[in-house]
Amino acid sequence: MENQDLLMLFNQELKPELESIETQRKTIKRLIGVLIAGLVLAKITYESIRNDYVAWPVAIGLALIGLVMGAKAMLKYFKYRSIFKKEVVTKIVHFINPYYVYDHKRHINASDVIKSNLFGEKIDRCQGDDFVSGIIDKTDFQFSEIHPQYKRVTTEDGQRKTEWITIFNGLFFMADFNKHLNAETYVLPDKTEKRLGQWIRKFQKNSDFGTLVKLEDPTFESEFKVFSSSQQEARYVLTPTMMQAIVRIRQTLKEDFRFSFIGNRVYCAVGFKKGLFEPRIRKSGVNFRDVEFMHQLFSLIELIIQEMNLNTRIWTKE
């Protein structure tokens, strides 16, 4: 029923809006084509007749034409993207819940990303967008797309070089669960065990995340490894119900994700290789499957909370 309602939203509201900005998308695509052609022709001209000084102005002119078209494409893209976020993504969020707050320019604070301790790297800055906050049942939550980075400074031939290295791309989610935990517990994807078998666990007893916790659910153990500063508290958090919920989320999502339980919050990071709520440029933006994909991503947060709400000892005071 929900898919039918989403399709109705697409046909009645989103599709007309996408069709109205389709000309802008085609213009951007055309300008990008001119940019690429100008730079390629400039390079070919330079390489083929680099000793001919008459050819230099031709190569420079072609490059400049390409760069001017690229600048125009960038300006038009920012305008197109802004309309797409306001008129399409916002409506998808409010279709899920009209009370959710959505801001395409904001993202989760870097301080909260650091508190989660999920990435095992020093974070010097955090970029991102598509911030959503709200309440599901009694649970306050926030999530956004994030790109935390650390700064690497090197010196080569007397030249100081600064690079920003991206640690993670994807969705970052956090929620309150109205209980304060004294320990820190981490649920991480266990790729190593899948490749090498359970014998590798004897080499995983300690890590920067704490001590390895052995649990009694074989399905959960085959998918995840758990580290904590308190074996007792880790078992308090990861009850059989909670472990089953996390496994169901894994089976639904089919993407790597990780949790941390710290203080009075749960944090979750889900990695993706592409931008999640961005408009297409190469292909038509009038596509229901793209809208359906975005809807599934936003609905993922509700899935996580609803599954974890089964463990009422953690998620409510009652």
Question: In this structure, are residues 184 and 96 in contact, taking their beta carbons and an 8 Å threshold?
Answer: no
In whole angstroms, give the CA distance from residue 182 to residue 188: 20
Which residues have a Cβ under 8 Å from the Cβ of 184 and sit 6 or more positions away?
Answer: 117, 209, 210, 228, 229, 260, 261, 262
The yes-or-no verdict on residue 199 having pLDDT over 50 is no
Domain ranges of the chain: 20-87, 88-315
Q: Which helix (H) or strand (E) holds 243?
A: helix 240-253
Percent of all residues in the chain with a pLDDT value above 90, rounded to a whole number = 16
Distances (CA, A) of 150 to 121, 126, 164, 166: 8, 9, 6, 7
CA nearest neighbour of 92 among 300, 309, 307 = 300
Tokens 């991503």 correspond to 297
Higher-confidence residue: 58 or 203?
58
**How many CB atoms neighbour CB 74 within 10 A?**
13
What confidence score (pLDDT) does residue 207 get? 61
Residue type, 63: A
Residue 108's pLDDT band, with cuts at 50, 70 and 90, is very high
Could you report the per-residue pLDDT of 49-77, keeping only the tens digit for each? 656 666 667 777 777 877 888 888 889 88
**How many CB atoms neighbour CB 11 within 10 A?**
11
Beta bridge partners of 126: 148
Average pLDDT over residues 242-254: 80
